[in-house]
Structure 1
Amino acid sequence: MSKNKKVTMSDIAAAAGVSQSTVSLVLNGSNSVKIAEVTKQRVFAAAKELGYTNPKVFHALGRPKKIALVINGLSNLDPFIEAINGAHEEAWKKDFVLVTFNYGHDEELAKKIEAEINNGEYSGVIYASSMTRALEKQQVSSRLPTVLLNCFNHANKDIPSILPADMIGAYRAVQYLIEQGYEHIAHITGESWMLATQYRLEGYRQALIDADIVPSQAYVHEGNWSLKEAYLKTHEMLSLPKPPQAIFCSSDYMAMGCYQAIFERGLNVPKDIAVVGYDDQPIAKESFPALTTVELPYAEMGKQSVDTLCALIDRQPILSLRRKVEGMLIVRDSVKA
């Protein structure tokens, strides 16, 4: 294989005659699945034969250096999985294997994970939250280089954090609606205590104010991230003496409830009323009409968390301790241009 070509897990799997998942488990040093020692040695031999011999990756025992990603809870359908996937890909590009630990709010398990991370085989740790939030305390060991992903720590501001630029995303969504000629723009929010809700509401209001449009409380309704609540709140707003011309929803999922209420009224999207969502989930592209939305840049956030951690490991300067990653406005068919 050419020295200029990046060696991948697929290359190693093909050379060793095993599955890609087996390669991942072996290079992770995972003990969750029992793998024959002869198979492990075949994987290590194939990796070295293909030129994957970076000393940063292999210990004296032939095991890779690792980065830990610790998360406090995640479901299979959680869009935050994209951040973890992005982190895994970037770590592999940088000759690290990223190992994910999910302690699901179990503090005893969290302590065991911390002990595992501090056993000398990890170069750094990414502490992640599927929900944007402030940490009440430092929940991971500070003995290793540490980056916070989708969370931040008021108590220790020296720990770099990677966050979504939710306020800017919401601002762009509403600004786009204003540019298309809409003035009476409503907003269906998530749960009011959540930072994502607060930032998106702030972006919505600021875009209106900058366009000399006075925000109306009659057009702001809490939808609790629920399709049903969004459906009910849309019906309420459509019954107002002056119903909105457009509705900005804090999630694509809520936008689907919005669609349903609009169609039940015999109205058309976008001919009679425009709808914009947030997150750019698969349902946004597959809905009819296809939903204009704002990308939630989880994959890029995951990659940047690894980049930042690698800079800390290499003792390089960090340009920003709190980096906010912007998502693109994706224009589709739910807004009349």
Structure 2
Amino acid sequence: MPSGRATVRDVAAATGVSIATVSRVLNQQGSVAPQTRALVERAVEELGLRAPSPRGGTPKPAAGAVYVRCPYLLTDYFGLIVTSIAESLDRHGRQLVLHAGQGVAGEPVLSRLASGRRPPAPGTAGPAGEPGLGGAILILPPESADELLRLRARRLPFVVVDPRTPLPRDIASVSAAHFSGARQVTAHLTGLDHRRIGVVAGPREWLASEARLSGHAAALADAGSLPDPSLVRYVEPTTEEGYRAAGELLDLPSRPTALVAFNDKAAVGALQAAAQRGLRVPHDLSIAGFDDIDVSRATSPMLTTVRQPLQEMGRMAVSLLIRLLDRHEVEALHIELATELVVRDSTGPAS
């Protein structure tokens, strides 16, 4: 078990490299071969050596490009986040290495990041990668908290945007206030006398799904009602899955008078399911979404939704990462940005 009392000399002895090389790796200074750096970092993690404190003066900022990974196509939601990240990095003079699209989630990249190497281009086997990464921004990463902790132990600065699962407190992250956003939209519906409210939720294991269902339940409790598990469907947040889940809810013997969808795309699917059944929105059925992307203003009627500050999430992630790269102390590691209810024409009084 790591004791935290190991010394630089212990690491040098365990790896067979010089004390000076171990020091360069710990301080991220000088030129060290990627294989040697990985060897030293593994020994540091195993022996429990703590990172050195700077001896006076300002610690040297970490050099290198910023790796940005997004496991989804860059349209709508994710495109806005990545665009703001790219613009913000450019203002700081940092190069961006982007890895995005379907299939990215299944690629093992954290081991490459841990040694400061660029993963190969998407869809290629590639060599070990190129040197030159200073930090990373991981959007909705599929890795477990333990895997992310191992990456942090290798001292590569990184920030998580919209975490998929709960993170340890010392991993920097930026997300929207999912609980309060869901509470706002359900409170809006209960204020219109809706009590039987269906939920087209996101994947069951996502942190955002759990937080939004909790916010939904809190708003129902405020109105003197209890959530009904039979009115919840867990699906991938796509138009097709929203259509399917909404259809199941609308075909119940006692159908809901309102539907809340995990995102605006799923809400569009719900609109299609309602139209197919001859239900008028909002006269017969109210429908609300989440995100406030462009499609929410392109439907008829336009969608009531919860606005997420997607571009600000990207900018805040870069701000946090730059502070980590500059070796500053970062105390507010988990940042939640406020959401805003946007009321449009798709919600109305319960019929």
Shared fold, TM over 0.5: yes
Residue of structure 2 aligned with 1:180, choices 192, 204, 208:
192
Instruction: Work out the number of aligned pairs and report it.
Output: 274
Residue of structure 2 aligned with 1:126, choices 122, 136, 142:
136
- Inter-CA distance 101–251: structure 2 relative to 1 (3 Å threshold): closer
Output the CA distance in 2 between the equivalents of 1:267 and 1:153: 37
CA contact (8 A) 2:105 2:141 kept: no
Residue in 2 that maps onto 1:137: 147
Please state if 1:87 is matched with 2:79.
Answer: no
Residues 30-89 of structure 1: CA distance to partner in whole angstroms, max 9, x if unpaired? xxxxxxxxxxxxxxxxxxxxxxxxxxxxxxxxxxx6441331633243632322211112
- Inter-CA distance 267–328: structure 2 relative to 1 (3 Å threshold): same
Output the CA distance in 1 between the equivalents of 2:110 and 2:328: 32
Q: In structure 2, what residue type is equivalent to 1:106?
A: E
CA contact (8 A) 1:189 1:223 kept: yes
- Inter-CA distance 277–320: structure 2 relative to 1 (3 Å threshold): same
Q: In structure 2, what residue type is equivalent to 1:127?
A: I
Output the CA distance in 2 between the equivalents of 1:185 and 1:136: 37
CA contact (8 A) 1:137 1:153 kept: no
Output the CA distance in 1 between the equivalents of 2:67 and 2:248: 43
- Inter-CA distance 282–152: structure 2 relative to 1 (3 Å threshold): closer
What SS does structure 1 have at the residue aligned with 2:230? helix
Residue in 1 that maps onto 2:226: 214
Range moving further from structure 2, 323-332 or 246-255:
323-332
Q: Could you say what the CA RMSD is over the residues aligned between the two structures, in angstroms? A: 3.3
What SS does structure 2 have at the residue aligned with 1:128? strand
Residue in 2 that maps onto 1:189: 201
CA contact (8 A) 1:127 1:140 kept: no
Output the CA distance in 1 between the equivalents of 2:70 and 2:276: 40
What SS does structure 2 have at the residue aligned with 1:86? helix
How big is the shift at 1:110?
Answer: 5.7
CA contact (8 A) 1:137 1:155 kept: no
Q: In structure 2, what residue type is equivalent to 1:209?
A: A
- Inter-CA distance 147–192: structure 2 relative to 1 (3 Å threshold): closer
Residues 205-262 of structure 1: CA distance to partner in whole angstroms, max 9, x if unpaired? 1211122111122322234434344334434433445432211111222212211222
Please state if 1:283 is matched with 2:284.
Answer: no
Output the CA distance in 1 between the equivalents of 2:280 and 2:67: 45
Residue of structure 2 aligned with 1:301, choices 293, 310, 313:
313
Output the CA distance in 2 between the equivalents of 1:119 and 1:330: 45
What SS does structure 2 have at the residue aligned with 1:151? coil
Residue in 2 that maps onto 1:19: none
Residue of structure 1 aligned with 2:171, choices 128, 144, 159:
159
Output the CA distance in 1 between the equivalents of 2:335 and 2:270: 33
- Inter-CA distance 316–111: structure 2 relative to 1 (3 Å threshold): closer
Residue in 2 that maps onto 1:15: none
Residue in 1 that maps onto 2:324: 312
Output the CA distance in 2 between the equivalents of 1:128 and 1:97: 16
What SS does structure 1 have at the residue aligned with 2:81? helix
CA contact (8 A) 1:132 1:196 kept: no
Q: In structure 1, what residue type is equivalent to 2:112?
A: K
1:31-46 superposed matches below 5 A: none
What SS does structure 2 have at the residue aligned with 1:302? helix
Residue in 2 that maps onto 1:68: 66
Output the CA distance in 2 between the equivalents of 1:221 and 1:112: 36
What SS does structure 2 have at the residue aligned with 1:255? helix
Output the CA distance in 1 between the equivalents of 2:332 and 2:184: 23
How big is the shift at 1:274?
Answer: 0.8
Segments of 5+ residues of structure 1 without an aligned counterpart are: 1-64
What SS does structure 1 have at the residue aligned with 2:77? coil
- Inter-CA distance 258–69: structure 2 relative to 1 (3 Å threshold): same
Residue in 2 that maps onto 1:21: none
Please state if 1:263 is matched with 2:275.
Answer: yes
User: Sequence identity, in percent?
Assistant: 27
CA contact (8 A) 1:234 1:258 kept: yes
Q: In structure 2, what residue type is equivalent to 1:85?
A: T
Residues 282-319 of structure 1: CA distance to partner in whole angstroms, max 9, x if unpaired? 22110111111122333211110111122223344424
Segments of 5+ residues of structure 2 without an aligned counterpart are: 1-62, 119-128
- Inter-CA distance 336–132: structure 2 relative to 1 (3 Å threshold): farther
Residues 4-54 of structure 1: CA distance to partner in whole angstroms, max 9, x if unpaired? xxxxxxxxxxxxxxxxxxxxxxxxxxxxxxxxxxxxxxxxxxxxxxxxxxx
Q: In structure 2, what residue type is equivalent to 1:314?
A: D
How big is the shift at 1:269?
Answer: 0.7
CA contact (8 A) 1:234 1:261 kept: yes
Output the CA distance in 2 between the equivalents of 1:222 and 1:119: 40
Residue in 2 that maps onto 1:201: 213
Output the CA distance in 1 between the equivalents of 2:142 and 2:222: 26
What SS does structure 2 have at the residue aligned with 1:261? helix
CA contact (8 A) 2:105 2:142 kept: no
